[in-house]
Amino acid sequence: MNVELTRVYHFSAAHRLENRALSLEANAALYGDCHRAHGHNYYLEVTVAGRPDPVTGMAADLGRLDAAVHRAVLDRVDHRALEEVPALHGVVTTGESLARAFWRILEPEVGAAALRRVGVVETAKNRFDYRGGA
């Protein structure tokens, strides 16, 4: 029996939507106002799954998970410009791309619990989920 649990984290960061292969004008046309530097108060949702331990009843050690998420992602992105974060080099910082990039960063860090989903909440209207794979 596997149980899933989701932890929610918060970070604030600046970014601008830009494909470096395109001109400034092409980026402005493609991304609209979001091609200019702006920021968000993001929520990062990390879902892991595991078998509940017969002694503790827990499917994952929340302290270890929290430490891994802070070390691997939050300490690198909070109050930063996302384009300047080395782990995000070359990533167009859309919510979709951030969810995939955070998955790539977190997957080796979650320990015995299996990563099931990474969600990025950018605004009250924009939520992005990634569940691994292609």
Q: Which residues are catalytic?
A: 34, 79, 122
Q: Collapsing DSSP states into helix, strand and coil, what is residue 90?
A: coil
Structural contact between residues 106 and 46, judged by C-beta atoms closer than 8 angstroms: yes
Give me the residues paired with residue 7 across strands.
46
Q: Collapsing DSSP states into helix, strand and coil, what is residue 3?
A: strand
> CA angle, 52 as apex, 103 and 74 as ends, to 5°?
30
